[in-house]
Copies of this chain bind each other. A is one copy, B any other.
């Protein structure tokens, strides 16, 4: 998903156990459930960058989804322990792009890969630049010399 990630901490890896609520009658995770998992991954990327999404909203910064895509590679069974691995990148002054992949925790299986683009808007929904701290964290993820 990430190409060269050596210097990157704009990433997260989250462990999730598939809930019964998330299955459908095909006996697998419903295709819509993956987008909630991607959201969990994105939130942890932000936390790793020093910003909780809850705090961003309290500060008047909102990140609604502008675009979402998922490619499903294999059925995810109920009760499976999955890892959601996510990486973020700036996609403009008011835009973030996240790439995620869903794999089995034991590593044997790749379930899905996704891409989600977030816009940055203010309380009234008007586009605004991402907070500078967040932009810098994404540009120099590991506190590299600035």
Chain A interfacial positions (CB closer than 8 Å to B): 17, 19-21, 23-28, 30-33, 35-36, 39-40, 43, 52-54, 57, 62, 64-72, 75, 77-79, 125
Task: State the oligomeric state as a number of copies.
Answer: 4
Considering the complex, give the chain B residue whose CB is closest to the CB of A44. B17
Q: Which of B17, B24, B31, B66 contacts A24 (CB 8 A)?
A: B24
In the complex, what distance in Å separates the CA atom of A68 from the CA atom of B32?
9
In the complex, what distance in Å separates the CA atom of A125 from the CA atom of B75?
9
Q: Which of B40, B57, B78 contacts A19 (CB 8 A)?
A: B40
Q: Which of B27, B36, B53, B64 contacts A28 (CB 8 A)?
A: B64
A interface SS class: mixed
Considering the complex, give the chain B residue whose CB is closest to the CB of A63. B26
Question: What distance in Å separates the Cβ of A103 from its nearest Cβ neighbour in chain B?
Answer: 18
When the two chains form their complex, are residues B67 and A71 in contact, meaning their CB atoms are under 8 A apart? yes
In the complex, what distance in Å separates the CA atom of A72 from the CA atom of B66?
5
Contact partners of A67 in chain B: CB under 8 A:
69-72
Considering the complex, give the chain B residue whose CB is closest to the CB of A27. B25
Given contacts A25-B25, A72-B67, contact A43 B20 (CB under 8 A): yes
